[in-house]
A = this chain, B = another copy of it.
């Protein structure tokens, strides 16, 4: 297990700082899916009290990264096939809803262009980890086209869950690679204001991506 130092003082409370740190570890796949997290043990590892860790657990449980079972403790979520399918259903509804509300010249659209180009650069260098991060940001920007903080919040939840899935797969490194060009293409279509075409491209992207994730999941878990 990696070092669990949380000396890096984030703004806000200690519980939030630990939650943020633990979130990173979870998404990085440092914990096994389904693993039970003992309050005493984890509190010791993060050097916080049990009460504070409980608040951390509540935080991460509400973000669907942990699962709380009464009188049994908290466990790392283990997303299965159904979860992935559901996640992509949410993505489809929300992202299509956002794209359909696109107005030309929206700052989020400019951000999508920048991120799309950054992804191309990162992939040319072979930094697949960063490609994944940028890709996530790209899709977050897409949802921000809807100018809806609540839709963005909901989307962030499923995206975090999806990142957890990626982290739990072993070879997820260049799982995003084929979609860099699709993203760039989508940006152009949106900048031209061709909404229906953009929706079709998005649907194609989501379908391919979902299949890829499901395949990788079945390959590793069976």
Contacts and interface: CB of A to CB of B under 8 A. Distances in A.
A110 interface: no
B54 A90 contact: no
Interface in A150-192: 150-151, 154, 157-158
Range of interface residues on A (Cβ < 8 Å): 20 to 34
Contacts of A93: 93-94, 97-98, 146, 148, 151
Given A55-B58, A58-B59, A93-B97, A70 B150 contact: no
A87 interface: yes
A45 interface: no
Interface string A83-119: 0001101101110111000000000000000000000
A148 B54 contact: no
Nearest to A149: B86
Copy count, this protein chain: 2
Interface string A6-39: 0000001100000000000000000000000000
Contacts of A59: 58, 62
A27 B192 CA distance: 45
A51 interface: yes
Nearest to A151: B90
A70 B149 contact: no
Nearest to A70: B12
A89 B54 CA distance: 34
A90 B13 contact: no
Interface string A56-94: 001100100000001000000000000000110110111
Given A12-B70, A96-B97, A97-B97, A90 B58 contact: no
A148 B84 CA distance: 11
20 contacts: A12-B70, A51-B51, A55-B58, A58-B59, A59-B62, A62-B62, A86-B149, A89-B148, A89-B151, A90-B148, A90-B150, A92-B97, A93-B93, A93-B97, A93-B146, A94-B94, A94-B97, A96-B97, A97-B97, A150-B157
